[in-house]
Chain A
Amino acid sequence: ITEEKTQKHLPDNTAFKQQRLPAWAPILSAKSTLPIFFIVSIAFVPIGVVLLVTSEAVVEFQYDYTDCIINQSSMTQPCTCVINITLGTSMDGNVYAYYGLTNFFQNHRRYVKSRDDNQLFGVHVATTSVSTSCAPYNLFNDNGTIRPIAPCGAIANSMFNDTFTFSQGSAQVPIVRTGIAWPTDYSVKFNNPFPTNDLDQAFSQYAKPSNWQKPVQSLDRNLSTNNGYKNEAFIVWMRTAAFSHFRKPYGILNRVAGYTNGLPSGQYTLLVDYNFPVTAFGGRKRFILSTTSWMGGKNSFLGVAYIVFGGMCFIGGILLTMIHLHARNTREMSLISRLHH
């Protein structure tokens, strides 16, 4: 009792408080670092090979059609050009059609923020409540009556509006323009305003974006459900790209009769409704056909990087082992651990 009484300030003798917790103290010595080199190289090289093979398996076809009409002036005046395409290899499996843009800064800050997610969510916005982040593409002065633009903002306004008609001989290759947007975007983020069954009425109070040829409710003439904000091409466009050199899905090959295994090799014709101006800002645009793998599109960098890094580790490991063996005679391991830490 007296012990307790006299030592009431005695600190708790616990491992934590006395800083005596069992601890693992990795000491970087040659013995522990050298194996790491080899383990890394052994792990990385095979991964790299696998990735490279996967990437090589992806068949990709690109065609830059920017210059097919040189004196194209604006988005609103359509014209067409015809491009002949030869597919050297067949494209098996799902085939995606992309359009690729270069030097188009979809990641520009002021561009990125020029949208109204609420509006796209299906909320009716009044003239007064349309998001200011869309400015100056938020309101449209229609002969004195000011109407909000639907969809507002620079992103929507600059929506890519070239259309591709891809055909093999006289038969059109069935490329559907649905299934390209993220399912969650389609089902949750993008909703048409009320009444959803009558889009003309739903959008009656809005003005179309100034660069658009058609209002939002009639983006897809072929498929009535693919209209309004729930147009998948629109949704894809609205997901701004990370870099100024990007591609976006245009459509998916519908694997019906004749195309069940993908796109066979051969001669194809691409008819482009050339609307989207890129030469003005020094951009390029491409038409891309590609299959995909579990690793996404064709990209050999990852595989190569794995192999190179693994290889470097291996070489480094061997070098260090030699140095280590040499140094052991003279200065033990201190050199190694210092070299590497």
Chain B
Amino acid sequence: FDKNKVQTTKYTVLSFLPKNLFEQFHRFANCYFVFIVLLNFVPQVGAIQPFVSMAPVIVILFIQAVKDLFEDYGRYKSDVEINSAECFVLKSSDDKYHKMKWSDLQVGDIVRVVCNSVIPADILLLHSSDPDGICFIETSNLDGESNLKQRMVVPKHWGDNHEFYPKEFKSIIECQTPNNEIYKFHGNMIPANGGEKISVNNSNLLLRGCVIRNTDYVEGIVLYAGHETKAMLNNNGPRYKRSKLERRMNTDVIYCVVLLLVMCLIGSVGNGIWASNMSNIEQAELFIPNEENGEALNPALSGFYMFWTMVILLQVLIPISLYVSMEIVKWGQVHMINSDIDLYHKETDTPIRCRALNITEDLGQIQYVFSDKTGTLTENKMIFRRCTIGGVDYPHAANGESPITFLLPNAGPPRIYVQTLFNTILNTYNPQLFIQPNTHFCNQDICRLYLCAQLSLFCVLHGRLLNLLGYVRVKSIGISLFESLPFTPPYTPIITLPYATLRHVTRSHINLHPPTHHQVTSPPQYPIIKLPHPPTPSSLYHPQQLSTKRPASHHRRNISSVSAREVLATVAQSEEDSTAMDPTEIETDVTPDPVLYEKLISTPYSTFACNEAKSRPLVQRRTNHCFPTATTRYLKIRYEAESPDEAALVYAAHAYGCVLAHRSSHGGKESVTITLPDGGGKLEFEVLHKLPFDSTRKRMSVIVRDPRNGQITLYCKGADSAILSALRRDQQDDVQFDIINRTKQYLDKYGRVGLRTLCISKRVLTEAEYSEWEQLHRAAERDLENRDQMMINSFVRMEDNLELLGATGIEDRLQDGVPETIEALRQAGIQVWVVTGDKRETATNIGRSCRLIHQNDEVIELITETPTQSNMRYRNYWTPLFQAKTTNGENCRKSNIRRQFFMVIDGRTLDFVLGTGNRDQPDTLVKEIADKFVLLARRCRSVLCCRATPLQKGMVLKLIKDKLHVMTLAIGDGANDVSMIQVADIGVGLSGQEGMQAVMSSDYALAQFRFLKKLLLVHGHWNYARLASMVLYFFYKNAAFVFLIFWFQILCGFSGGNMIEQSYLLIFNLIFTSVPPLVNGVLDKDIDAATLLKKPELYMQGIKDELYLQRTFWINMLDALYQSLIIFFFLYVIYLDTEVGLIEWGTVVTTAAVFVILIHLGIETKTWTWIHWVCQIGSVLVFFAYSLIYNIVCATCLPPSNPYFVMERVIQTGQFWFSILLVTAVALFPR
């Protein structure tokens, strides 16, 4: 077995040279170069000294090698860091764990990994500090999932003895050969004492790279180490994306190749003709040297040789240096983007990160933006806004904003008296109360009180009803007292509810419930019962004490807005509170009616329980102690939750005083402790089962046993559709029916204001039901073949006959600048699609609020209910376009067609479009639907896909990309966007709330959606413009230079002769004219940033490819042709019939070319900074310096051209300077 040492570097010191060369020769460009060099070695063909011609190849190889070396060095450093990380390894000598470097770890070692440290190798879990033998790992390093996963100790490997003695551990473990399947592992453990084989699987394996969480330490044996670990086997290199411009460029390179071949062919034919003319002449050998055997060369053969000679001579036409230059330029552009301060997010200290280096210019050509909603358009900071319980809506003002109250106009008289009561109160109070901010406190408090009260109505603790009664009584008194409050605005309507009515109401409500509930109305262990009187009437009488509620609510706000990240349990009072409250006020504040802050609604509770191991106060769990109840309200607790919604729910519960205090599991039993506020005590619920979330069910459940009455209840939380479809169907109960009805209406309303909704339901189980189900479930668990399916079936079986409790609405606020950004992208000609998993109403609403949908847009809704053989009736929308067959089973609403459309399509309908929904759907139909969809979508201003699964997101994008051949950008923040991000031409990840998966798979990582605007409109435009002009310039430059040599062939009998000194020929591109275009490529700005932001329409240039068309390419080539003609023939005429030498004249030509080409770039340059000046002038100086120095140092080098003292002589002549001036001016004049 290998050691655990990991080496990700490609090269070692020794292997670098050969290996790197090998790698480099895999590139086409380098092969071409080498081919040319080799061609030069053929004596008949060679145009240039072979060793000279190697120079540029070597330089380019060297540059690339240095680049590779740097990259590799980075890997080497990280390797060293990883390899020298330390872990604890058991030494058999003294049976103790010693620190050891990761690299020294070997297969078979027993290691101990402590909490929050990274697992060094693939380890079979043998022991855990957790008495139940479980541990939690976070696998985000591996698969990007940030939730915790549970792993179990290999069952019973130590026999009945519960202690683990590593020294005595002598078993043989059989396992698979190393493979890269993260989720699959099988093996057997054969105890040394010849016991039974114990099968081990994935759930016992801790993978390298994962992090241990919430477990003090674990011990295990190393199974795979180093490169054999699954993490390393899965470690693939980064993707290589090729930009659109690059693709176009490649076609132009092919044109260049064709051009080159044509030129070579002309040369070769010309040579053949010329040679055959000459061969008729006796004395031709005067200047056509014969072959070595003294024979004249056969014209045909000569022509053939000539072809290859021309290839060598004109090789520069293929802009090989372009590839290197582009890499450098892109690197520079990326650097510029990275250091843009406008794309830096102060709050989170995240600058933009470009992860893909080679698609910077694609940013300027985006036509479609596919955006996730949650976390991308919105902040993904969930705030609990309101809930409906038992059909009544309760707002929750978390941020001091006035909540809007929904009134159900058509609701009719509610059947539940309690509801009548509360509605009366709310409805009467709200309109006025919510207007005036200074009345908030009372209003909020009232709402909150009632909310809590109501929550407790249906919450787990049915026994609380009695307390509720007490509470309501108290409150009713309080309400009546508003009248006497001096600062109460005069218009505050006062409702005095007769105490008796209330009592009646509550009683009657209680009576609705089965008598069994009444039996437990006053068990002694409930502290609440004893104190039904605080927020005592007396305290409420006092205005200033009422006012203390305000800071208190502030405080709650603080708590609820704490981000759900790392565990933090510090006794920290917010500054606001400490200044606003004196001790007595705190006193009053902490002693309201416990019922008031009563028991956690079932929402957070079930959330909590469902998210096993996902949301919990970690510190508490580790240290195994709870918060003192009295101080709970002043603790900032950070809950860690799988999704922000859940965190929001838990925080909301916390704000009402129900604190999730502790989660534990002893002896296979898991329990959750909830602290009730202010001496309310703790309740420990036994968690019997957790039915985790999955995307097919779209819900999750927990089965708990109430500690007080031992009742088994299933609480289920999930998407509204998922819950509503699983409700009790034999709905005889009017009350339930009413609740469902009203809840549905509220859900609809919540959705319209953009709230994310969750439904909560419960099911009371009898012991018999439960045990029956449990047995079946166990069986399902045991089933090996189709365990997954069985499990789901089992879950579905349990999650049935639910009783709706209520629903929650959670607000997800829009990020800053989202509407503006979308508006700007729109104006820039980019189609923005929103692809979200949210429900239609919510999504549409967000769409409206971020100006995706305009007021007068026509909304096309494609929502088909019945999947089978349903073809979409796009005809309805686009009759002239689609002569489609009308089909049934479809539910499109048709409206008058006006100019602007907005399409909404839901996940199920998308299934038909994508052909994923139904296997029976014939391919042709899918294609037809897809075509229509695309056609329709094209006509729409924007498209919103709701209820889309992660896979669908990617597929929609792919569909559009394939059908329309457009440039797409996908932006998202969560794991569900990964497929989309990967499919898109450019994937942008937001480093947001939902972990790093999106970022890891993205090309660009942003902190906020609004940064997209500058990234695309400014950087995208710039980079596109820069690169386009640079590429064109390179083509032009090389062509102009090569044409010069080509024209010379006419004069030298198509002999492949070359007037330009060899070294100039080779380094002309490399040195004389390389730096200014690179500088331009990184720094030039055709339009300044402010204008680009102000006028997004300018972005259209990129979309329409205006800067790099086929036409522009040819225009550039013509330009090159013209300039080369001017340079060549002007100088030809000027120097004709003089004593000028070949190389001398070539030097003049080269100088003219340098000037023309550089000044050409100067004209192209839009903005001149000092860097441009330095580079331009520097390039000219470098040329002269090079030629002067080179021409003076060597008298015999580089035969045959041997330019000794040529430049020195040339620059002394007036003819030279005046020719250059003339030629430059004439050549560039058309520009």
| A188: interface (CB < 8 Å) | yes
Report which of A19, A98, A282 forms a contact with B281, defined as CB distance below 8 A: A282
CB distance from A318 to the nearest CB of B (A): 16
Q: A21 and B340 in contact (CB under 8 A), knowing A109-B1052, A277-B283?
A: no
| A113: interface (CB < 8 Å) | yes
**Cβ of A248 and Cβ of B351 under 8 Å apart?**
no
Q: Which residues of B contact A25 (CB under 8 A)?
A: 1166-1168
| A143: interface (CB < 8 Å) | no
Q: Which residues of A contact B292 (CB under 8 A)?
A: 135-136
Report which of A100, A109, A280 forms a contact with B1057, defined as CB distance below 8 A: A109
Interface string of B277-318 (1 = CB under 8 A from A): 010011111111111111000000000000001000000000
| B161: interface (CB < 8 Å) | no
Cα–Cα, bound, A26→B1163 (Å): 9
* Interface residue total, chain B, C-beta cutoff 8 A: 83
B residues 1200-1224 near A (Cβ < 8 Å) are: 1200-1202, 1204-1205, 1208-1209, 1213-1215, 1218-1219, 1221-1222
Interface string of A1-45 (1 = CB under 8 A from B): 000001111111100011101111110000000000000100010
Cα–Cα, bound, A295→B1221 (Å): 14
| A107: interface (CB < 8 Å) | yes
Q: Which residues of B contact A131 (CB under 8 A)?
A: 1199
Nearest residue (CB) in B for A20 is B1089
**Cβ of B1214 and Cβ of A294 under 8 Å apart?**
yes
| A90: interface (CB < 8 Å) | no
Q: Among the listed stretches B63-71, B762-770, B1130-1138, which one makes contact with chain A, having 4 or more residues with CB under 8 Å of it?
A: B1130-1138
CB distance from B1047 to the nearest CB of A (A): 12
CB distance from A30 to the nearest CB of B (A): 16
| B1226: interface (CB < 8 Å) | yes
Q: Which residues of B contact A11 (CB under 8 A)?
A: 338-341, 344, 351
Q: Which residues of A contact B290 (CB under 8 A)?
A: 136
Report which of A106, A109, A241 forms a contact with B1056, defined as CB distance below 8 A: A109
Q: Which residues of B contact A17 (CB under 8 A)?
A: 336, 339-341
Cα–Cα, bound, A277→B286 (Å): 9
Interface string of A288-316 (1 = CB under 8 A from B): 00000011110101100110010001000
Report which of B1085, B1132, B1168, B1208 forms a contact with A19, defined as CB distance below 8 A: B1085
**Cβ of B351 and Cβ of A9 under 8 Å apart?**
yes
Q: Which residues of A contact B349 (CB under 8 A)?
A: 6-10
| A243: interface (CB < 8 Å) | yes
Cα–Cα, bound, A44→B341 (Å): 49
Cα–Cα, bound, A280→B351 (Å): 78
Nearest residue (CB) in B for A5 is B349
Q: Which residues of B contact A241 (CB under 8 A)?
A: 1139-1142
Interface string of B26-45 (1 = CB under 8 A from A): 00000000000000000100
**Cβ of B289 and Cβ of A296 under 8 Å apart?**
no
**Cβ of B1199 and Cβ of A113 under 8 Å apart?**
yes
Interface string of A181-219 (1 = CB under 8 A from B): 010110011000000000000000000000000000000
| B1055: interface (CB < 8 Å) | yes
**Cβ of B43 and Cβ of A132 under 8 Å apart?**
yes
Q: Among the listed stretches A115-123, A163-171, A223-231, which one makes contact with chain B, having 4 or more residues with CB under 8 Å of it?
A: A115-123
Q: Which residues of A contact B1225 (CB under 8 A)?
A: 40, 44, 309
CB distance from A113 to the nearest CB of B (A): 4
B residues 610-635 near A (Cβ < 8 Å) are: none
Nearest residue (CB) in B for A286 is B1137
Nearest residue (CB) in A for B1168 is A24
Interface string of A131-145 (1 = CB under 8 A from B): 111011100000000
**Cβ of A295 and Cβ of B1199 under 8 Å apart?**
no
B residues 1164-1185 near A (Cβ < 8 Å) are: 1166-1171
CB distance from A274 to the nearest CB of B (A): 14
Report which of A108, A135, A243, A306 forms a contact with B287, defined as CB distance below 8 A: A108
Interface string of A152-173 (1 = CB under 8 A from B): 0110011000000000000000
Cα–Cα, bound, A281→B1166 (Å): 54
CB distance from A6 to the nearest CB of B (A): 5
Cα–Cα, bound, A117→B1197 (Å): 8
**Cβ of A281 and Cβ of B1218 under 8 Å apart?**
no
Cα–Cα, bound, A244→B1050 (Å): 11
Q: Which of A23, A132, A295 has the most CB of B within 10 A?
A: A23
Report which of B1132, B1145, B1204, B1214 forms a contact with A185, defined as CB distance below 8 A: B1204
Cα–Cα, bound, A121→B1199 (Å): 12
**Cβ of A22 and Cβ of B1137 under 8 Å apart?**
no
| B346: interface (CB < 8 Å) | yes
Q: Which residues of B contact A115 (CB under 8 A)?
A: 1199-1200
| A259: interface (CB < 8 Å) | no
| A341: interface (CB < 8 Å) | yes
| A147: interface (CB < 8 Å) | no
Q: Which residues of B contact A321 (CB under 8 A)?
A: none
| A251: interface (CB < 8 Å) | no
**Cβ of A154 and Cβ of B1085 under 8 Å apart?**
no
B residues 77-97 near A (Cβ < 8 Å) are: none
Q: Which residues of A contact B1048 (CB under 8 A)?
A: 107
| B138: interface (CB < 8 Å) | no
**Cβ of A24 and Cβ of B1167 under 8 Å apart?**
yes
| B1146: interface (CB < 8 Å) | yes
Cα–Cα, bound, A295→B1214 (Å): 5
| B259: interface (CB < 8 Å) | no
Cα–Cα, bound, A277→B281 (Å): 12
Q: A297 and B1138 in contact (CB under 8 A), knowing A9-B351, A281-B278?
A: yes
**Cβ of A136 and Cβ of B289 under 8 Å apart?**
yes
**Cβ of B1058 and Cβ of A249 under 8 Å apart?**
no
A residues 316-341 near B (Cβ < 8 Å) are: 341
Q: A21 and B1200 in contact (CB under 8 A), knowing A189-B1195, A242-B1059, A302-B1222?
A: no
Nearest residue (CB) in B for A121 is B1196
Report which of B283, B342, B1144 forms a contact with A280, defined as CB distance below 8 A: B283
| A61: interface (CB < 8 Å) | no
Cα–Cα, bound, A326→B282 (Å): 67
**Cβ of A117 and Cβ of B1196 under 8 Å apart?**
yes
CB distance from B1195 to the nearest CB of A (A): 5
Report which of B47, B1053, B1204 forms a contact with A184, defined as CB distance below 8 A: B1204
**Cβ of A111 and Cβ of B289 under 8 Å apart?**
yes
Report which of A108, A246, A309 forms a contact with B1052, defined as CB distance below 8 A: A108
A residues 235-268 near B (Cβ < 8 Å) are: 236, 239-249
Cα–Cα, bound, A234→B278 (Å): 26
**Cβ of B1136 and Cβ of A281 under 8 Å apart?**
no
| B1083: interface (CB < 8 Å) | yes
Q: Which residues of A contact B1142 (CB under 8 A)?
A: 106-107, 112, 239-242
| A105: interface (CB < 8 Å) | yes
| B1051: interface (CB < 8 Å) | yes
CB distance from B647 to the nearest CB of A (A): 23
| A47: interface (CB < 8 Å) | yes
| A104: interface (CB < 8 Å) | yes
| B1231: interface (CB < 8 Å) | yes
Please name 5 pairs of A and B residues whose Cβ atoms are closer than 8 Å in the assembled complex, sorted by A. Answer: A9-B351, A19-B1085, A110-B288, A117-B1199, A248-B1139
B: residues with CB less than 8 A from A are 43, 47, 278, 281-294, 309, 336, 338-342, 344, 346, 349-351, 1048, 1051-1053, 1055-1059, 1083, 1085, 1089, 1130, 1132-1142, 1144-1146, 1166-1171, 1195-1196, 1199-1202, 1204-1205, 1208-1209, 1213-1215, 1218-1219, 1221-1222, 1225-1226, 1229, 1231
3 tightest A-B CB contacts, nearest first: A280-B283, A242-B1145, A23-B1167
A: residues with CB less than 8 A from B are 6-13, 17-19, 21-26, 40, 44, 47, 51, 98, 100, 104-118, 121, 131-133, 135-137, 153-154, 157-158, 182, 184-185, 188-189, 236, 239-249, 277, 280-282, 294-297, 299, 301-302, 305-306, 309, 313, 341
Q: A108-B1053, A121-B1196, A299-B1138 are in contact. List 16 more A-B contacts (CB 8 A).
A: A11-B338, A18-B340, A109-B309, A109-B1058, A110-B288, A112-B1200, A118-B1196, A118-B1199, A132-B43, A136-B294, A154-B287, A184-B1209, A185-B1204, A189-B1204, A242-B1146, A302-B1134
